[in-house]
Structure 1
Amino acid sequence: MRILHVLDHSLPLHSGYSFRTRALIEEQKRLGWEPILLTSPRHSLDGPNPETAGGLTFHRSPASGPMPLLGEIRATGKAAARLIDRFDPDLVHCHSPVLTFLGARGAARRRNLPIVYEIRAFWEDAAVGNGTGREGDFKFRMTKAMETQACRDADAVGAICQGLLDDLESRGIEPSKMFAVPNAVDLAQFGAPEAADPELAASLGLAGKEVIGFLGSFYDYEGLDDLIAALPSILTERPEARLLLVGGGPREQELKAQAARLGVMDHVVFTGRVPQEEVARYYALVDILAYPRKPMRLTELVTPLKPLEAMAQEKLVVASDVGGHKELIEDGVTGTLFRAGDPSAAAEAITGLLASRDSWPERIHTAKKWVAENRTWERTVANYIPVYEHLVNR
């Protein structure tokens, strides 16, 4: 089976979106399928066309010109039409945001090809989450309407979690055309955690400390300000605690200023962004991975990838009780949940775990077992099989 995948962006840009794409496509190739990969003009990194990155070949849509949205749709559509003519795929699979679907839809319909639309997050909610939009304004409503119409027009609609599927059903999307393709973990990459590097720990001032960590992008919705606000209370109970923040993003300078203002800067380590191949070394330094996401539509509806990676890395997980986390974490069994947006609740959850080390081995074992049994890319990609076969054979 040959599938044309239409993507927002891809490797060599590093993002959760890119890493999910790589995992999905590698698993599809193991099934004997032939994926053809096209990115929209929103892939902003210069490079050859086509470009090989991470062992995969990506075709690029040309720059979109002076009319951003309409130009992107047209450029994606022209590139999709060329690849459809060249490779003769069995179906077209578009990955959110909706511009990929709007671009490829015409080319797919002209060849009578079935089209799948897969949602990783609603575009309107993502804009609110990263600070480029406001919930309920005209842009939000327009984008939501576009996403809803795309789901009505698609032959099948996938989503990464139940929260998104439930929201789509409330919009009137027929449940029979929807299916789940949840986030997962590559246990070959994350399932064998490295031993802590004492030299790296010493260089960061973490030797002999109790390390609470976060690895990811510093967006407002991640709630890292709540984690820093919890630190004075944590230090009162656990003076050897340290907060390790690996990554970067738009809130980085504000977070540093907050830590300085609270007088805890000596207890917080900002590493900046690290190469992907180095991430496991930093995971190895952490006792507890914290995910204090704020309550909002994006976090209530969408399940993140990072807690699954942490469980696979045999790390304890503490997270806010937003809906996306509750799909992944069973409180007191595979992780600890605390009231979202409440630094004091975060502090209580973290100090409670640090004070009960005897419970750690069983919880770590239970969480990793759950991931291995439920959240591998092999299991996720298997969900495509009946959908693809039905569409191609209809």
Structure 2
Amino acid sequence: MPRSSSSWEGSEALWITAAGWASAAKRKFGNAIVVTSDRIAEPSEVWNYPLNQKSGRQVAKRRYSYFPSFCRTLFNDLVVCKNLMDWKLLKSDLLQGKNPAFVWEKHDLFFGPGKKLSQKLNVPLISYVHAPVVWEASKWGVKRYWWGKWLERLEAQSLRKADLVAVVSEEVKEKVMTMGVAEEKILISPMAVEPQLFSENKQLSQEINEAYKLKDKFVIGWTGSFRKFHGLDHVIKAFKKVSDKHPHTILMLVGDGAERQNSERLVKKLGIHDKVIFTGRLKFLEIPQYISLFDVAVVSARSGEGFHYSPLKLREYMAAGKAVLAPNAGEIPSTFQDEQNVKLFNAGNIESLKNGMLFLIENDDKKQEIAQNGKQKILGSGTWEQELEKAMNFLDI
């Protein structure tokens, strides 16, 4: 991973991806390590990254917010660049006496150390691309002005040096091809799941159930980071309509983020504060116990436009055996079948989202069928081991 173990707060899916690939590699090859700019870790340690969050971080963020957005972006880019220049861990005999099969690196804004390490060890380099950084940030409204095109050229050079570029979706594949990456070097490798993490711990789940008084309640749940593109205001508004018809329903929102206060204000305005639970930020390994209490699990999106990513939470919900309500956006409708292993709704349409919730509440047999089929699909084709095998076959390892 090209940054420190305390990086990517709010983007924990990046660490979960690294932990998933490393865990699968350890089972296949007998050993695997995750290297960051500040430490070396076992795969099992990485599930709860990032580490070392400083107490003054939020104060610093508030002070930093007074600067113009382009200044903040430029400063962040310079910090990332500086941190990548000094990888002391790679100057040591990191893998002395080892015989690694490959180097896996999460693609970042600047050249990471992966290529140098793979050349030193004479093994292939896999560059894993959730999305090209400049391109994805521009979708969320981040402007890099004069230096953006230069950074994207650096990204392209970095990707072209990899032996395999693993991307999460067809849209990301198309983008990296426009950056000069040959199609024969690209493998679509969507987000996956570690199934054993989502096996139910009944004792802990029961404690959570009692703490939130969920007995005889129908729980509609969501997990993630509170961000605008998730459209949680749509979820809350749709739930309001549902709860008016089915008073025994509860909405549980697991996570934290910039939009949480807006979500809490909306809940209060709609008069449903007694029906919506905000759990706050949880460690990743705690989240499966909360998901185990969901009757329906929601993947949300404000819009289907530009939906380029591969939803990690969708796979996790399915691995936990939950019926999933998801938008018909991006890779989802081509990967999953409506009313077979997922229930689809029109992204950005509150009425469609509401109807999806009602469908799963009022059709219990169908809900159970969707949940069972979804779990079977994920266990059959959606684990990190299976994604690793695809990459190994691609590289003929």
TM-score tier, shorter chain, comes to: 0.7 to 0.9
Bigger Cα displacement from structure 2, 8-17 vs 275-284: 8-17
Shift of 1:237: 2.4
Which among 123, 126, 129 is matched to residue 119 of structure 1? 129
2:252 to 239, 244, 247: 244
SS at match of 2:85: helix
Of 9, 14, 17, 1:17 maps to: 14
CA distance in 2, matches of 1:159, 1:139: 25
2:173 to 150, 160, 165: 165
For residues 249 and 87 of structure 1, the distance between their equivalents in structure 2, rounded to whole angstroms, comes to 44
Counterpart for residue 294 of structure 2:
286
Q: Which amino acid aligns with 1:371?
A: I
2:80 to 46, 57, 69: 69
Give the secondary structure class of the aligned counterpart of 2:131: coil
Taking the aligned partners of 1:262 and 1:84, their CA distance within structure 2 comes to: 56
The residue that corresponds to 2:44 in the other structure is 54
SS in 2 for 1:72: helix
Equivalent-residue separation in structure 2 for 1:118 and 1:277 (angstroms): 23
Out of 200, 213, 223, the residue aligned to residue 208 of structure 2 is: 200
Structure 2 counterpart of 1:31: 28
How many angstroms apart in 2 are the aligned matches of 1:66 and 1:143?
A: 9
Task: Tell me: CA distance 1:98–1:33, structure 2 relative to 1, closer, same or farther (3 Å).
Answer: farther
Per the TM alignment, residue 289 of structure 1 is displaced from its structure 2 partner at its CA by: 0.5
Give structure 1 regions of 4+ aligned residues with deviation exceeding 6 angstroms. Answer: 11-14
Aligned 8 A contact 1:161 1:302 in 2: yes
Amino acid aligned to 1:28: A
Q: Residue type of the partner of 1:233?
A: K
CA RMSD for the aligned pairs? 3.5
Higher-strand-fraction structure: 1
Moved more, 372-381 or 137-146: 137-146
SS in 2 for 1:26: helix
SS class of match (1:259): helix
Matched, 1:334 2:341: yes
CA contact (8 A) 2:33 2:43 kept: no
Q: 1:307 to 1:56 in 2, by over 3 A?
A: closer
| Shift in Å, 1:323 | 0.2
Aligned to 1:313: 320
TM-score by length of 2: 0.80
Amino acid at match of 1:377: W
Supply the distance in 2 between the matched residues of 1:29 and 1:111 (Cα, whole angstroms): 18
User: 2:330 — aligned with what?
Assistant: 323
- d(CA) in 2 for partners of 1:88, 1:98: 29
Q: Which runs of 5+ in 1 are unaligned?
A: 1-5, 42-48
Tell me, in whole angstroms, the C-alpha distance in 1 between the residues paired with 2:114 and 2:205.
47
User: Matched residues in 2 for 1:313 and 1:240: separation?
Assistant: 23
Matched, 1:147 2:155: yes
Shift of 1:26: 1.8
User: Residue 293 of structure 2 aligns to a residue in which SS?
Assistant: coil
**CA distance in structure 1 between the aligned counterparts of 2:40 and 2:373, rounded to whole angstroms:** 43
> Does residue 180 of the first structure (1) align with residue 191 of the second (2)?
no
Give yes or no for contact 1:180–1:383 (8 Å, CA) kept in 2: no
SS for the counterpart of 2:336 is coil
- Label 1:8 to 1:205 Cα distance change in 2 as closer, same or farther (>3 A): same
**For 2:220, what is the secondary structure of its paired residue?**
strand
- Checking the alignment, whether the CA contact within 8 Å between 1:125 and 1:135 is kept in structure 2 is no
User: What is the one-letter code of the residue matched to 2:345?
Assistant: F
Paired with 2:181 and 2:126, the residues of 1 have a C-alpha distance of 14
The residue number in structure 2 matching 1:40 is: 37
Of the structure 1 ranges 185-194 and 232-241, higher mean CA displacement relative to structure 2 is found in: 185-194
CA apart distance, 1:176:
0.9
My pick for the range that moved more, 288-297 or 196-205, is 196-205
Of stretches 247-256 and 202-211 in structure 1, the one that deviates more from structure 2 is 202-211
The equivalent of 2:386 in structure 1 is: 379
Over the matched positions of the two proteins, sequence identity in percent amounts to 22
Higher mean C-alpha deviation, range 230-239 or range 337-346: 230-239
Q: Is the 8 A contact 1:237 1:351 kept in 2?
A: no
Q: Is the 8 A contact 2:253 2:277 kept in 1?
A: yes
Cα 1:135/1:228, change in 2 over 3 Å? farther
For 1:88 and 1:196, locate their aligned partners in 2 and report how far apart those are by CA, in whole Å.
40
Deviation at 1:293, TM superposition (A): 1.6
Shift of 1:153: 2.6
- Deviating more after overlay: 220-229 vs 6-15: 6-15
Q: What is the total number of aligned residue pairs between the two structures?
A: 369
Q: Indicate the larger mover: 144-153 or 279-288.
A: 144-153
Tell me, yes or no, if the aligned pair for 2:2 and 2:112 is still in contact at 8 Å: no
2:318, 2:378 within 8 Å by CA — same for their partners in 1?
yes
TM-score (norm 1): 0.81
1:142 Cα deviation after fit: 4.2
Name which of 107, 110, 134 aligns with 2:142.
134
Shift of residue 194, structure 1, vs aligned partner: 4.3
Whether the 8 Å CA contact 1:148–1:171 is kept in 2: the answer is yes
Of the structure 1 ranges 230-239 and 8-17, higher mean CA displacement relative to structure 2 is found in 8-17
CA distance in 1, matches of 2:115, 2:291: 41
